[in-house]
């Protein structure tokens, strides 16, 4: 029964995120917000909302390993499997801003996370924690990123002002869709955490492994669906921007908010996963600098890297 409820939870998460992104994107268009601002904020935040819901609920219920594992696992999956599959279907064109600012900012956020969680190595404490003060530091980094995004939006305002407001989009319908999507995300996230933990204990799996695999894969499905859809529509800049933006939100917003609500204990095994996450982001940056695109060959390499990683963490458990 737990497996069925887990699938229902994932379905609610995915459909809820779909509704949330569609509704909020249409509201942004009605407000004449520049398209680049929509991609970097609303779409990225919308596809990261399952991770946020699952991790915050897990933190509130004292399942810190699930909260941390979910974010790290989701970012690794986004950088490898989501980018890999999307690039294999249609080569991802990369904007210069993404190479010069957004991917490096993702690396910076990842390194900051590694430093903040290294209490034993750096401060000689008895355990590693992402404390409330660490959470506030991550949220501060988020405010810097949001300032950057708003700056881009202001520069793009003139272009957006020339685009007429859509006539076939209504306020009431999209506000309703957005609220329904948010409810689906919250309720689905609760089902995923509770039943994911039940299945984990019955299989003898650790909380960390469940967060890195089952829950991470489930909560990353919105990024996968959104990015593949964008790539198939030949909007590859949106696809890669969504993935990079989601990774930034996952670290800074999801872990920042979760730790601020309830300090998160960090399993020693997660350190190797965070280092792997940083290395993969650097690899993505290198691939992106190749003719400003991530092609099919690079996509296969990234997807294969996730398969290898998945085998490693399962054997490690």
Instruction: Quick: pLDDT tens for 206-255.
Output: 777 888 887 888 778 777 877 777 777 776 666 777 788 889 999 999 99
169 within domain boundaries: no
Residue 165 has pLDDT above 80, yes or no: no
DSSP string, 63-88: -HHHHHHHHHHHHHHIIIIIHHHHHH
168 within domain boundaries: no
Residue 1 has pLDDT above 90, yes or no: no
Specify the pLDDT at position 316. 79
Specify the pLDDT at position 164. 60
Neighbours of 172 (CB within 10 A): 7
Residue 26 has pLDDT above 60, yes or no: yes
Segment 66-92 shows an average pLDDT of 90
Q: Are 47 and 228 in contact (CB under 8 A)?
A: no
Specify the pLDDT at position 226. 74
133 within domain boundaries: yes
Specify the pLDDT at position 35. 54
Domain that holds residue 309: 2-157+175-316
112 within domain boundaries: yes
Tell me which H or E stretch contains 5: helix 2-30
166 within domain boundaries: no
Radius of gyration of the chain (CA): 19
Neighbours of 209 (CB within 10 A): 23
164 within domain boundaries: no
Beta-carbon contacts of 253 under 8 Å, excluding residues fewer than 6 positions away, are 45, 48, 52, 138, 139, 142
Identify the CA nearest to 46 among candidates 227, 288, 310, 289.
Answer: 227
Specify the pLDDT at position 276. 95
Higher pLDDT, 96 or 115: 115
Segment 15-37 shows an average pLDDT of 74
The CATH number that applies at residue 224 is 1.20.1420.30
Specify the pLDDT at position 157. 60
304 within domain boundaries: yes
Hey, what are 215's tokens? 């829950």
How many structural domains is the chain composed of? Answer: 1
Identify the CA nearest to 266 among candidates 76, 125, 143, 137.
Answer: 125
Beta-carbon contacts of 261 under 8 Å, excluding residues fewer than 6 positions away, are 56, 59, 60, 135
Q: Are 142 and 253 in contact (CB under 8 A)?
A: yes
The 10s digit of each residue's pLDDT in 252-287 is 999 999 999 989 999 888 999 999 999 999 999 999
284 within domain boundaries: yes
Coil, strand or helix: which one is 285?
helix
């Amino acid at each position: 029964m737990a497996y069925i409820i887990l699938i229902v939870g994932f379905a609610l998460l995915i459909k809820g995120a779909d509704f949330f992104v569609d509704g909020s994107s249409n509201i942004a268009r009605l407000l004449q917000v520049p398209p680049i601002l929509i991609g970097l904020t609303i779409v990225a935040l919308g596809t990261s909302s399952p991770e946020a819901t699952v991790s915050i609920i897990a933190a509130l219920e004292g399942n810190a390993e699930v909260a941390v594992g979910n974010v790290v696992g989701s970012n690794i999956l986004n950088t490898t499997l989501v980018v890999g599959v999307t690039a294999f279907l249609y080569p991802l064109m990369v904007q210069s801003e993404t190479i010069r600012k957004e991917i490096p900012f993702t690396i910076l956020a990842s390194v900051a996370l590694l430093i903040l969680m290294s209490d034993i190595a750096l401060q000689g404490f008895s355990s590693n924690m992402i404390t409330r003060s660490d959470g506030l530091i991550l949220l501060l980094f988020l405010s810097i990123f949001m300032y950057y995004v708003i700056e881009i939006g202001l520069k793009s305002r003139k272009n957006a002002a020339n685009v007429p407001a859509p006539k076939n989009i209504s306020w009431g319908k999209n506000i309703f869709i957005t609220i329904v999507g948010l409810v689906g995300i919250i309720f689905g996230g609760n089902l995923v955490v509770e039943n994911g933990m039940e299945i984990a204990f019955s299989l003898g799996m650790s909380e960390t492994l469940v967060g890195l695999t089952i829950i991470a894969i489930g909560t990353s499905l919105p990024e996968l669906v959104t990015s593949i859809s964008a790539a198939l529509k030949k909007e590859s800049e949106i696809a890669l921007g969504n993935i990079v933006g989601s990774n930034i939100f996952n670290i800074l917003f999801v872990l920042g908010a979760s730790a601020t609500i309830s300090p998160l204990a960090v399993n020693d095994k997660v350190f190797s996963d965070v280092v792997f996450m940083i290395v993969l982001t650097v690899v993505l940056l290198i691939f992106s600098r190749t003719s400003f695109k991530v092609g099919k060959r690079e996509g296969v390499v990234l997807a294969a890297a996730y398969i290898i990683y998945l085998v490693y963490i399962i054997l490690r458990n």
